[in-house]
Chains A and B, each alone.
Chain A
Amino acid sequence: MTAEFRIALAGNPNSGKTTLFNALTGSRQHVGNYPGVTVEKKEGVYRLENTKINIVDLPGTYSLTAYSEEEVVARDFLIFEKPQVIVNIIDAANLERNLYLTTQFFELGIPVVIALNMIDAARDRGIEIKEDRLAEYLGVPVVPIIARTGFGTQKLMEETVRQAAKKKEWNSKPISYGEDIDSTLLDLEEKITSGNFLTDTYPGRWIAIKYLENDQQIKERGRKENAALSALLEKKVEAVSLHLRETMETYPEAMVADHRYGYIKGILQKGVISHKYDKDRLYTSDRIDKVLTNRFLGPLFMGLVLFALYTFTFNYSELPVSWLESLFGYLAQTAEHMLPDGHLKSLIVSGIIDGVGGVLGFVPLIMFMFFGIAILEDSGYLARVAFMLDRIFRIFGLNGSSVMAYILSGGIAGGCAVPGVMATRTLRSPKERMATLLTAPFMNCGAKLPVLALFIGAFFSENKAQYMFFFTILSWMVALVLAKLLRVTVLRGESTPFVLELPPYRFPTLKGLFIHTWEKTWQYIKKAGTVILGISIIIWAMMTYPGLPAKDKEKFVQQRQEVEVAYPAANVAGKMAIPEEEAAERSRMLAAIDRAEAQMALRNSAAGRVGIALESVSFLAGFDWRTNIALIGGVAAKEVILSTLGTAYSLGGDNQKESGSLGKTLAADPGWNPVKGLSVLLFISYYAPCFVTVVCISREAGSWKWGAFSMIFNTIFAFLLATLVFQVGSLFC
């Protein structure tokens, strides 16, 4: 008979939790989200002979309070899903602090098995832990492991199964929090138990502790359950708070925390841990830090690393990106040949193949980006970047971790906002994270670059590089200033505490890197793919329908016939063919008719009509209907701007050669001048992000509202800026 158990894996960040989870479950993982929040939920299966163990990887936390989404999720999971055992992974070199979370599991009463991880690294540091004594004093099993090599993991699972099979009742372990708190606790617990207050869900003593800790989530639930009793409990807590503040200048929550540490210290002093070396000895990691966070060398090295990440992501992914491009190019061509002309062909080629190609085209980029970030994150360097840059980014209401998202989005010209937005996952502060992901698309991504280059070339030609550099710096300023604006308006609020651990430098494991990269990439393909396919079909339809009226179509057919009649086929050496000298002229004229028809069809399409209607507003910034259509198309993908503008000026074709002539056309057009050029250029730099980015923003922010917000907010900002430049500029030109 096979048995089945469900266990949770919990521990501090940097304790090797993910490494252990990967070692146990390998590729048999399932990644989802906890309902309603953006916190990832990872589940996997471990098989021990006939036993199936379902493992849920809880988010890494230092504590179980209600301040962060991760902690609430971890706590609610334990309470509502009641796993049979919690495997608490602990960094052996950091025992004292790691056990702080363990004491909170004890308070909850859930059966715990401790996985004492990285005993090899601890031994290198001269730290020896007597695990049998630790187990005896804590009253729970302790299994030493090295997650990275797999040492001890089978024993850990055997012990876990043994504990789970006991089906122990949850049993809060009483820890003393000092006389004042203890007596209050007893009093509260008695009232809670006798009033049957939330006790169906939570242990009584635990509820009492949470009231003392001023835990908002539990207090809210309490008020809903029984307002009168909750008020009574709050009054008692208030009384002891006042007493503690007057006599000892402290708070109940501080007393509770201090005594948890006191409990741990008490145990560790009983010969559990011995240090071979002086505690202040500098470890290798500290020596590396002396250089890498040095006042002068640190920023220099960081610049190099960030530049390397950028180069790695964008240059090395070029080859697979081009493979995908040629694959989709080939598919489009095949469809072009096989299908009869008409709307179905147009839908398949321009709507579906281009749409899917657009989504999958980002895949190599995203894979390389996540791989690069995983190296920085797993090695511990990412925390140092945040540490060094925090002071600057804090001025704008962000924190040090924001820099990566900006750089990937195009902070070094030519990035992409899609990986940039996804990279904000490394930010742990919710408001700072939102501000970063909403402003990252202001950077000049790779798709905006050819557009910028074209306008710069057409209107400010002499020094392309200098102008490019100027616009890159301008983008940083716009992003940072708008981040600040968001942080004092819609994302207002005090900065999230930035108490950050700088973990020791470690070599990342290849397995970990690959699993990490694949997971994130697959999520992108799955979630973004479906939505974006739908949207690209809508945009295609907008630019295609309703098409030309029959009367106009007839006119173009007639013109073609006229050309064909003017250049008739002649008998050349026994074959009917068009004479060579005339063939070129003939096809040139036919192509001109095709382009004129495409222009007219575009003008007549839904997008064209919107573009014309928008002229009544857009004239303020100097945009005519042709520009408007191109900008609407640009919401699908910024690459579309140039090709649409080309069609609107009846240049036809979206190949690169044409853009040169587009630049010349615009420069020569009396309707255009440098002021209008600058106005359009600024608008393109800052208006609504492309749809792929919007989808990613919505996913990362956890709501479509934020995707919509970024489209509207960015467009309004860009339009105001463009209008200002156009109106003021027109006064002088």
Chain B
Amino acid sequence: MSRMMLRNMRKNQKGVITAVKKDGELGRRIRDMGLVPGTEITVQGRAPLYDPVALRVMGSVISLRNNEADFIEVEVQP
């Protein structure tokens, strides 16, 4: 088990969110989508230019930009 920022995760890698270090509008939009500590995520894929990233979260697919993923810390499953 190791912690890393969401931006650095590979495709198909799984993990559990440990922290969302952002307040204000961006922080709120991230949380609205269910990206809160304790939520399990899987990196589903990336756009053709490697950014944004698509995540599987609670049965839906969410995309966010890499610079937005920078605020999300994940404990990655081996």
Are A and B associated in one complex? yes
CA distance A94 to B58 in the complex (A): 7
Given contacts A258-B37, A497-B25, 4 further A-B contacts (CB under 8 A): A62-B32, A93-B60, A94-B58, A127-B59
- The contact of B52 among A100, A253, A257, A390, by CB within 8 Å, is A390
Stretch in A25-33, A293-301, A342-350, A607-615 with 4+ CB within 8 Å of B: A293-301
Query: Does A498 belong to the interface (CB within 8 Å)?
Result: yes
Contact A253 B27 (CB under 8 A): yes
Chain B residues 2 to 23 lying within 8 A of chain A, measured CB to CB, are 14, 19-21, 23
Contact A500 B27 (CB under 8 A): no
Contact B28 A253 (CB under 8 A): yes
Chain A residues 431 to 476 lying within 8 A of chain B, measured CB to CB, are none
Query: Does A67 belong to the interface (CB within 8 Å)?
Result: yes
Q: Which residues of A contact B23 (CB under 8 A)?
A: 214, 251, 253-254
A-B contact pairs, 26 of them (CB 8 A): A63-B32, A94-B59, A96-B59, A97-B60, A250-B19, A253-B23, A253-B27, A258-B37, A258-B38, A279-B59, A280-B14, A280-B56, A286-B44, A289-B44, A290-B45, A293-B47, A388-B48, A390-B65, A391-B51, A499-B26, A499-B33, A499-B63, A499-B64, A499-B68, A502-B62, A502-B63
Query: Does A517 belong to the interface (CB within 8 Å)?
Result: no
Contact A254 B33 (CB under 8 A): no
Contact A390 B51 (CB under 8 A): yes
For the complex of A and B, list the 10 residue pairs with the smallest distance between their C-beta atoms, beginning with the closest: A391-B49, A62-B32, A257-B31, A97-B34, A502-B61, A251-B23, A497-B26, A499-B29, A63-B32, A497-B29
Q: Which residues of B contact A125 (CB under 8 A)?
A: 59
CA distance A498 to B61 in the complex (A): 14
Contact A500 B62 (CB under 8 A): yes
Q: Which residues of B contact A504 (CB under 8 A)?
A: 60-61
Name which residue of chain B comes closest to A390, CB basis. Answer: B52
Q: How far is the CB of B22 from chain A (nearest CB, A)?
A: 8
Q: Which residues of A contact B68 (CB under 8 A)?
A: 497-499
CA distance A249 to B65 in the complex (A): 23
Name which residue of chain B comes closest to A383, CB basis. Answer: B63
Q: How far is the CB of B46 from chain A (nearest CB, A)?
A: 8
Q: Which residues of B contact A496 (CB under 8 A)?
A: 25
Query: Does A65 belong to the interface (CB within 8 Å)?
Result: yes
Q: Residues of B at under 8 Å CB distance from A?
A: 14, 19-21, 23, 25-34, 36-39, 42, 44-45, 47-52, 54, 56-65, 68
Chain A residues 568 to 592 lying within 8 A of chain B, measured CB to CB, are none
Name which residue of chain B comes closest to A214, CB basis. Answer: B23
CA distance A254 to B64 in the complex (A): 18
Contact A254 B62 (CB under 8 A): no
Contact with B along A269-302 (1 / 0, CB 8 A): 0000000000110000110011001111011000
Chain A residues 43 to 79 lying within 8 A of chain B, measured CB to CB, are 62-63, 65, 67
Q: Which residues of B contact A497 (CB under 8 A)?
A: 25-26, 29-30, 64, 68
Name which residue of chain A comes closest to B34, CB basis. Answer: A97
Q: How far is the CB of B4 from chain A (nearest CB, A)?
A: 17
Chain A residues 280 to 338 lying within 8 A of chain B, measured CB to CB, are 280, 285-286, 289-290, 293-296, 298-299
Name which residue of chain B comes closest to A65, CB basis. Answer: B28
Q: Which residues of B contact A294 (CB under 8 A)?
A: 48
Contact with B along A140-178 (1 / 0, CB 8 A): 000000000000000000000000000000000000000
Query: Does A501 belong to the interface (CB within 8 Å)?
Result: yes
Contact A254 B27 (CB under 8 A): yes
Contact A295 B21 (CB under 8 A): no
Q: Which residues of B contact A251 (CB under 8 A)?
A: 23, 27
Query: Does A392 belong to the interface (CB within 8 Å)?
Result: yes
Q: How far is the CB of A535 from chain B (nearest CB, A)?
A: 39
- The contact of A387 among B50, B54, B57, by CB within 8 Å, is B54
CA distance A501 to B44 in the complex (A): 13
Q: How far is the CB of B56 from chain A (nearest CB, A)?
A: 8
CA distance A161 to B54 in the complex (A): 41
Contact A394 B65 (CB under 8 A): yes
Contact B48 A257 (CB under 8 A): no
CA distance A498 to B48 in the complex (A): 17
Chain A residues 87 to 115 lying within 8 A of chain B, measured CB to CB, are 93-94, 96-97, 100
CA distance A214 to B30 in the complex (A): 16
Contact B45 A97 (CB under 8 A): no
Q: How far is the CB of A390 from chain B (nearest CB, A)?
A: 6
Q: Which residues of B contact A93 (CB under 8 A)?
A: 59-60
Query: Does A503 belong to the interface (CB within 8 Å)?
Result: yes
* Contacts known (A65-B28, A125-B59, A390-B52); A501 close to B33, Cβ less than 8 A: yes
Q: Which residues of B contact A501 (CB under 8 A)?
A: 33, 60-63
Contact A387 B36 (CB under 8 A): no
Contact A96 B49 (CB under 8 A): no
Contact A100 B44 (CB under 8 A): no
